[in-house]
């Protein structure tokens, strides 16, 4: 990390929404970043943040943030606006706006899906593929875009990464039970979700097929194994749970303790471990037979860790004669799965001296 590097002024785009509020919470009093601009849609621009936002987090809305005036999104591209932008923009709206900001020389850390699969945009989980950050050099704009993945893709990739590295994954079947907050506020109607599970979330399955492979591969070549996802929305406020059945490549003499050790010992590179938002353990392995559970485990390490339990081997091999292993993972979808991942990616860029004050 640069010595005596000054705190950097940052802005939050779409700051009043669910992910925008998480950005406000995480960046307030951050050691590297100071929130000096908040932007919102034209209907909210000109209002004070405290007047425009329907604050839905358990934490208190910081008083100094509450008194900040919201600026129009287009003004984030002005030379006088901060050079680092955290984007909570919704899909489609993010496409042109984020390109405009990068062209204006801004470093954009995006939670939006629009540029995740662009060849020159790194899709980053700092502990797994920090080397992909070099793709920013391939972007033709004076600034750059760094994306983080879909919330469930982040959880699945953290579950997969140690096993893909040590044993190789031949095939993955996953079933997600995704929290209500993943749909934003007000999200799913109570009439739809009460006493119910909804086995469909538009666009989610396709993201789970593609995004983990981009992150698990090299900067220029995706990993090569099929992912078969089934997604559902459940009546839980926060915390996505993923049931995974994995066929592994290297199974000669493989025991369950080898899988457990691979997951429990996973750390990521040393430069990432020392970042402010990085958890001490990216993966917590739980031994209790009824864990993980959203209410008990989603806030582990400030919501930045994935908890994994019920690691077992299925009694039958798959149709190809391969051994199949089951594990259940859980993570906080708006922290590790959204705003927290973007903040951690920006901290990595800060440590590498990629950001300008």
CB 105 within 8 A of CB 71: no
Contact 320, 83 (CB under 8 A): no
pLDDT of residue 5: 61
By residue count, the chain amounts to: 357
Write b or e for each residue in 128-139: b if 16 or more Cβ atoms lie within 10 A of its Cβ, otherwise e. Answer: bbbebbebbeeb
Beta carbons within 8 Å of 198's beta carbon, 6+ residues apart? 188, 192, 232, 233, 234
Residue 1 — very low, low, confident or very high, per pLDDT cuts 50/70/90?
very low
Concerning whether 151 is annotated as a catalytic residue, the answer is yes
Query: Which pLDDT tens digit goes with each residue over 207-228?
Result: 999 999 999 999 999 999 999 9
Q: What is the DSSP letter of 221?
A: S
Q: Can you tell me the mean pLDDT for 226-246?
A: 98
What's the confidence (pLDDT) of residue 3? 52
Selected catalytic residue, list 115, 132, 240, 284: 240
For residue 116, pLDDT beyond 50: yes
Residue 292, preceding bond cis, omega within 30 degrees? Answer: yes
Q: Which of 132, 151, 284, 332 is catalytic?
A: 151
Nearest to 81 by CA among 8, 21, 7, 142: 8
> Binning pLDDT at 50, 70 and 90, where does residue 109 land?
very high
Q: Which domains does the chain have, with CATH numbers?
A: 8-150+339-351 (3.40.50.720), 151-332 (3.30.360.10)
Of the chain, the percentage scoring pLDDT greater than 90 comes to: 94
> Is 132 in the active site?
no
Yes or no: say if 105 and 78 are a contact pair by the CB < 8 Å rule: no
Share of the chain above pLDDT 70, in %: 99
Structure confidence by residue, pLDDT tens digits, 57-85: 999 999 999 999 999 999 999 999 999 99
């Amino acid at each position: 990390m640069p010595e005596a590097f000054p705190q950097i002024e940052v802005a939050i785009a779409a700051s009043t929404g669910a992910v925008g509020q998480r950005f406000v919470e995480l960046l307030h009093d951050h050691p590297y970043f100071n929130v000096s601009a908040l932007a919102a849609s034209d209907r909210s621009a000109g209002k004070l943040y405290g007047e425009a936002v329907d604050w839905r987090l358990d934490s208190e809305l910081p008083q100094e943030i509450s008194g900040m005036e919201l600026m129009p999104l287009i003004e984030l591209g002005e030379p006088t606006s901060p050079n680092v932008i955290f984007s909570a923009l919704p899909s489609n709206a993010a496409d042109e706006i984020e390109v405009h900001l990068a062209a204006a020389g801004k470093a954009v850390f995006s939670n939006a899906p629009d540029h995740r699969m662009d060849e020159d945009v790194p899709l980053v989980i700092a502990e797994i593929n920090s080397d992909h950050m070099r793709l920013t050099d391939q972007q033709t704009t004076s600034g750059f875009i760094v994306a983080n993945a879909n919330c469930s893709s982040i959880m699945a990739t953290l579950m997969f990464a140690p096993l893909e590295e040590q044993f190789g994954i031949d095939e993955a079947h996953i079933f997600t039970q995704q929290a209500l907050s993943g749909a934003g506020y007000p999200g799913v109607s109570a009439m739809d979700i009460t006493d119910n599970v909804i086995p469909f979330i538009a666009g989610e399955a396709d993201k789970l097929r593609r995004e983990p492979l981009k992150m698990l591969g090299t900067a220029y070549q995706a990993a090569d194994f099929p992912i078969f996802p089934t997604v559902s929305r459940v009546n839980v406020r926060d915390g996505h749970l993923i049931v995974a059945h994995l066929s592994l490549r290297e199974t000669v003499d493989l025991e369950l303790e080898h899988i457990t050790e691979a997951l429990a010992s996973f750390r990521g590179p040393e430069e990432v471990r020392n970042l402010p938002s990085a958890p001490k353990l990216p993966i917590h392995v739980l031994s209790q037979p009824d864990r993980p559970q959203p209410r008990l485990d989603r806030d582990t390490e400030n919501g930045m860790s994935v908890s994994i339990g019920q690691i077992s081997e299925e009694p039958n091999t798959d149709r190809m004669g391969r051994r199949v292993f089951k594990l259940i993972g859980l993570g906080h979808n708006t922290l590790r799965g959204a705003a927290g991942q973007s903040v951690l990616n920006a901290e990595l860029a800060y440590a590498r001296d990629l950001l300008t004050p």
